[in-house]
Each structure stands twice: as C-alpha cells, then as structure tokens.
Amino acid sequence: MRMDKLVLVLATLALAAGLYVSNIQIGVTLGQELGLTAKYVDGPLPITSPDAPIWGDIEAKEVELGPQLTAAPWIHPEPSVRSLRVKVIHNGTWVSFLLEWNDATKDDKMLTDTFRDSAAVMLALQPGAGQCMGTPTAEVVIAHWKADWQRDVNEAFTDISELYPNFWSDWYPFAVGSPPYTLPDLMNLSAAKEYFAGWYAGNPLSTPLKLTPVETLVAHGWGTLTTYAYQSFIGRGIHDGAKWSVVISRPISTGQADPPWGDGGPVEVAFAVWDGSNGEIGAKKGVSLPMPLSLEKPTKPTAVTATVTVTETGVEAAPPVQNQALIIIAIVAAVMAFLIIGIILPGRKKKRGSAE
C-alpha cells in the first residue's frame, strides 16, 4: 500500500473511532446530567395544583429546550422558550410533573392568526422511543397541556363573543329564540352538533365540554400523533403574569399505554413547550433531549430528588471525569484526522506534482 493511502486509511479509522467514542460518551453524559428522579411523597399528590406548598420542597431541574430540526415543518431555529424547570414527584400510585417556564404573554385564545401556549411530557413505552416522537416499532405516550383548553375548563368553552366582544349574528339555522344567542343554549340543541363538523367527527380539539386541559396521545413516529382512546393524564396550569406553572399527572399504572416503569424505571422522558405569541404550533416548538426518569424507591425517602442521577437499573456509565477525558481524546483524534486529510495529504501531493 502506498504511504499516502495508508495515512488516509489510518486517518479515517481514527476519525470514525473518535466520533464513535465521542457520540457514545456525549450521549451518556447528557443522559446523566439531564436525568430525573421522581421524589417519593408519602401521601396524596397535588395532581392538579401547581401552587401546592409541597412543590416548594422539591428541587427543580433546569431542562434546556432547543429547536425541532428533524421533521417538516423543520426549520424554526428560534423557539422563544429555551429552558424549563421540571419537578417530578410520585407516591407509588400517581406521578406528577410540575413544569414552569417564563412567558410574559398568556396565549389562551385561538383567533384565525393566534396560537395557544402549551406544553408536553413525552414518555417512551419501549426503550429507544424517546427520540423523535417514537419509531414505527417503539411508541410514546404524550401528555399535552393546552392553554386554551385550560381556559375552557376554567371559564366554560370560549365563545365567539369572548373572542370578538362586538360580535353579532342574527341567525343560526339550528337556533331557536332570538339573538344574542349564548353558547350553552346553542350547544345543547340536538341539531347544533351537525354545524360543528370537528365536534361531530369526534375530534377532541373541537369538543366543547373539556374535562381536563391535558390531552393524552400516542405516537410511533413523525406525523402519527393520535389522541389515545384511554385518556389517562390530568392537570392544571396557572399563569402569574410572568410564567406558566403547569402540573401534569397520571396514575403510574393504568393498564393502558403504561411506560415500562418496572422496578422504578428508568423510562425515557422528554419535554416540549410552545409559545403561542411566537407562532409556535405542531412541530414548531422548543424540545428537550430525551432523558431517563426514575421513580425514587419508597424505602429511600431521603434519596436525591430531581437532580443528577445514576439509577440502580439505569445506564452503566463511567464517572463524569472519565467521560470528559474520553470526549477530549475523541475530539483530539477527530482534529488530527482532519489535519492529516486536509493539510498533510494535499501538501504531499503538491510536492510530488511539482517534482514531476
């Protein structure tokens, strides 16, 4: 083998090895640093109370959010909410997430050109599903809290007269009596449903009667998000003028689309936030990396709370110092490979060319 080819092969091998090691180690490191543990609480959980005193005892985990760049509509580089404070607790029967993020504008009305604030918790039902809304062979279950649903729950279904205070309509074909027509009266008419196509078709977004602001969905890849037949999440969100505090809760075991908690996990969890004022909806959102979530064992009530964790059944990872050392080695190897390919080899060729 000629010398330059040998160098090229070696450089390629070094690059591949470097990237392989760095990928593995970066993944593990991130997993560790972003890992969550649900603190065990002995007693009932504040499953719909984001302002319950107990949350003050739980340490929050700052979760970074970044743009979603994997699936169309794929380019939205600037989600306005870049971090989320997460607290998780459980009592052996229920698990509750408290999500808090800064957002000065409360977007809970849907006009033609306005979008809702919302947040989601995604739990993998099989290992590896936490990346990208699941895969064809690994599903996720998603809890999606929506600010407009919260408004519906708090103040009854948002009517046109609330969206447009000067609104007036003389007549509806399904209405009786005379204007102004009020929504509850209209909705109660048997013929009304035929004039609300989404509701008639059974779309949960269109249903005027909302029991909870949280929708339970399942997905097995991009574009497959579907409302789940068994609605298991509940919750509540409040806005204090500067931030949203949203609690999302669910029984640990429902018999339907349960994450594989096993002996306390871990299961993969990821978070997303949409800022309506920034036009965020659907794939346009701030998302977190998937991370392991474990349930703290009831026998260890004083264990670490929702912070960095390496669980008993979790990923076997090297200590952080060693991880960092390996990453540095990998990066140095990659840089050397590029130097060899980009500078040394062309230089050799040039010299040889000039000699000829």
Partner 1 sequence: MPEVFNWQIDRQMNYLYEAPRPRRQFAGVFDLNKCIACQTCTLACKTTWTSGRGQEYMWWNNVESKPRGGYPLTWDLKLMETLGEQKWEGKRYAGKTVFELEDRPNKENPVAGYFPEDLDYAHPNLGEDEVSGVLETEGGYFPTIPKPLWMFYLPRICNHCTYPACLAACPRRAIYKREEDGIVLVDQERCRGYRYCIEACPYKKVFFNLMTRVAEKCIACFPLIENGKIPRCFETCIGKIRIAGFISKPDNPQPDNPIDYLVLIRKVALPLFPQSGTEPNIYYIPPINVPLNFLRMMFGPGADNAVKTYRAVMEKARQNGLENLDDEDLKLIGLVTLANSTNRIVHRFRIIRETLEIVGYDEHGGELVKVPISEPKYVREFYDQRLKVYRHNIT
For partner 1, the binding residues (CB under 8 A) are 71-76, 110-114, 148, 159-160, 163, 167, 169, 171-174, 181, 183, 186, 192, 195-203, 205-206, 208, 222-223, 225, 279, 281-284
Nearer to partner 1, 169 or 322 (CB): 169
Nearer to partner 1, 90 or 220 (CB): 220
Nearer to partner 1, 136 or 173 (CB): 173
Nearer to partner 1, 76 or 82 (CB): 76
Helix (H) or strand (E) holding 356: none
Nearer to partner 1, 287 or 295 (CB): 287
Q: How far is CA 67 from CA 71, 164, 283, 288, in A?
A: 11, 33, 9, 9
Nearer to partner 1, 127 or 282 (CB): 282
Burial bucket for residue 179 (CB in 10 Å: 0-12, 13-18, 19+): exposed
Q: Nearest-CA neighbor of 244 among 101, 342, 124? A: 101
Q: Nearest-CA neighbor of 249 among 35, 55, 34, 65? A: 55
Nearer to partner 1, 200 or 338 (CB): 200
Cα 59 to Cα 334: distance, rounded to the nearest angstrom = 38
Classify strands 83-90 and 36-40 as parallel, antiparallel or unpaired.
Answer: parallel
Least CB distance to partner 1 at residue 277 (A):
14
Nearer to partner 1, 183 or 252 (CB): 183
Cα 287 to Cα 271: distance, rounded to the nearest angstrom = 6
Concatenated DSSP letters for 285-331? SEEPPPEEEEEPPTT-TTS--SSS---SSS-----HHHHHHHHHHHH
Least CB distance to partner 1 at residue 251 (A):
26
Q: Nearest-CA neighbor of 123 among 237, 238, 293, 280? A: 293
Least CB distance to partner 1 at residue 176 (A):
14
Cα 57 to Cα 37: distance, rounded to the nearest angstrom = 14
Q: How far is CA 318 from CA 79, 80, 264, 323, in A?
A: 33, 35, 22, 6
DSSP assignment letter at 84: E
Least CB distance to partner 1 at residue 265 (A):
30
Least CB distance to partner 1 at residue 208 (A):
8
Pull the structure tokens for residue 283: 């794939």
Least CB distance to partner 1 at residue 68 (A):
10
Least CB distance to partner 1 at residue 212 (A):
16
Cα 110 to Cα 90: distance, rounded to the nearest angstrom = 34
Least CB distance to partner 1 at residue 25 (A):
33
